Amino acid sequence: MDSAHVQDDLVEVLFTEKQIQDRLQEMADQIAADYEGRDLLLVGILRGAVMVMADLARALPRHCEMDWIAISSYGSGTKSSGVVRLLKDLDTDITNRHVLVVDEIIDTGLTLSWLVNSLGGRNAASVEIATLLRKPEALTMPVEPRYVGWDIPNEFVVGYGLDYRERYRNLRDIGTLAPHVYS
């Protein structure tokens, strides 16, 4: 879906599809260099990271394995509930594996902080984070991603996997959702 289809729902487009693809390619090039000679397991966080994970994996100039985990701290609102729930665990044993958690956004950091601690307790060789977006002003938990596409203001954004009540995930761009949509 193009942002023109939902222009009345957006305050502004922050990143276009082209900008997103270009930035993911830059991140993939850095990841490939950093993990040279090591097997890499990408762990995507369902459902929001589907777009980021797919395009990042395709941009990597090397083999990688992929697995998925589903965790939530949101429910259907626009702010974190503060409680992390595991909805689907990994199918892959990560013992002695180099794990790169791929997410679309770091908001409060609660979910990723919980996940990194959980995966670290499974004897992974390393656990790092790649995220397309980060909201530094919203962080309440210490989370240090190794790869960040962009830092953004503490506003509610949708598109490219980011949703509001399961809508806007298939928007090709990332934009700020207009308050009239969720108030």
Please give the single-letter amino acid code of residue 131: T
What is the domain range of residue 146? 17-155
> What is the reported pLDDT for 84?
87
Does some domain include residue 146?
yes
C-alpha closest to that of 148 among 139, 120, 61: 139
Does some domain include residue 135?
yes
Does some domain include residue 180?
no
Q: Is the predicted pLDDT of residue 152 greater than 60, yes or no?
A: yes
CATH code of the domain covering residue 83: 3.40.50.2020
Does some domain include residue 75?
yes
Does some domain include residue 177?
no
Q: Is the predicted pLDDT of residue 144 greater than 80, yes or no?
A: yes
Structural domain total, the chain: 1
Cβ-contact 52, 28 below 8 angstroms: no
Q: Region 118-136: what's the mean pLDDT?
A: 96
Active site residues: 107
Percent of the chain beyond pLDDT 90?
90
Compute the mean pLDDT over every residue in the chain, rounded to the nearest whole number: 94
pLDDT digit string, tens, across residues 50-83: 999 999 999 999 999 999 999 987 555 555 557 8
Percent of the chain beyond pLDDT 70?
95
**Distance, CA of 163 to CA of 156 (rounded, Å):** 9
**Distance, CA of 36 to CA of 62 (rounded, Å):** 9
